[in-house]
A and B are shown apart, each in its own frame.
Chain A
């Protein structure tokens, strides 16, 4: 994937990833950015990438499993059979339960990592505010 040339003075958000549906982000940076700011920026961008990676795997798995289920059902139903919503609901329940522990782990980590970024975000905003005052 090409890295578009983006003006570093602004925060950017990209189009949603085709598989993970998560949008990539690039946060703004100044030339003399402090370590706090740099840590915050990289941590937040990494969190977003980790987020996108999880959903890529998860969604791919969903599509794959769904295709397998539909193929199997079609085999059972014969050539003219239609897979109904009721049939699909069996798959939906199955998939959700299979992925339950993985989703739980993801959610716990999502909450934890976002919560951990609150205080750094406050500090970065304070630094930016002070910089603005100095101008």
Chain B
């Protein structure tokens, strides 16, 4: 492929689409949406779950396809991205745009109908911010990282609202945790790519304002502790157990961020970045385990109030399907009965 002229040929179309959708990133995003879904205070509903997961996957695929389209010449400049489908012209930009349009339309429909309009709106809003704000902003302004952090915070909100239909303080805490996580994550990743970013014209913190890069890393590592150990239990996102068992993970994050802050180099940044990849699934698992809404103790309390345990209908207010009689709904409230 390197030295010859080749026909523009997608060859394995599925593989090309997977790359266009940045499938690993899409999987991560969908898993944060699923995490948000699991954190919602309600019984598990398989069809809503499926709609949320599939819809989020499709919208994420669309956003990433738009990103490929907008950044093809910049991707060509950097080693990490120089073999992407649109850089090597495996198919035409129109083909990629059609893919983006089709996945966006189907993703939005599935979320709107299978979950509820709020989830759909959040999804398309996220697509708009990623493709319309974050991606172009990388060329012009250091604020792109903050826009990117918002993009990362919205999927859990989507998962949560898919069940509840409302945005409450608990889900905002969840989103903020993911927002703050983005800073140690991206700063760790980008530190080693400064040369590439500079030549390819990315106006990111690690190139244009190193001090800010270091400060935001430690600032948000500290924020994570406050969010997990104070805000999460207070907003009834999780139990107080989470406040305690999240401390080891957050302590490591803080320690690695501090090392990066004091002495930013190839090693500290890489360690921080790799840990951030491990941190995300672990913190989500811990959260789901400590989900106040799913706490079995509270479930037992509720059962004493509603003797009829034969629940045939698991629908909730907020979903577009019909709402059954309150007596039939199996809902575990956020506050404890003690």
Binding site for B on A (CB under 8 A): 4, 6, 10-16, 21-23, 25-26, 51, 55, 58-59, 62, 85, 88-89, 91-93, 95-97, 99-100, 103-104, 107, 110-111, 114, 117-118, 121-122, 125
Contacts and interface: CB of A to CB of B under 8 A. Distances in A.
A125 B2 CA distance: 29
Given A21-B82, A125-B94, A4 B198 contact: no
Interface in B1-31: 2-8
B133 interface: no
A25 B6 CA distance: 10
A41 B97 CA distance: 18
Contacts of A121: 92-94
B8 A11 contact: yes
A33 B139 CA distance: 38
B198 A92 contact: yes
B80 to A, nearest CB: 13
Given A11-B7, A11-B89, A55-B76, 17 more contacts: A13-B89, A22-B76, A23-B88, A59-B199, A89-B207, A91-B198, A92-B197, A96-B197, A96-B203, A97-B208, A100-B203, A103-B139, A104-B140, A107-B136, A111-B136, A114-B69, A118-B94
Q: Say which size band chain B's interface belongs to.
A: 35 or more
B128 interface: no
Nearest to A103: B201
Q: Which of A10, A11, A51, A125 has the most CB of B within 10 A?
A: A11
Contacts of B69: 114
A71 B268 CA distance: 28
Nearest to A15: B3
14 contacts: A12-B6, A22-B73, A55-B76, A59-B77, A59-B199, A62-B199, A85-B194, A107-B139, A107-B140, A111-B70, A117-B93, A118-B97, A121-B92, A121-B94
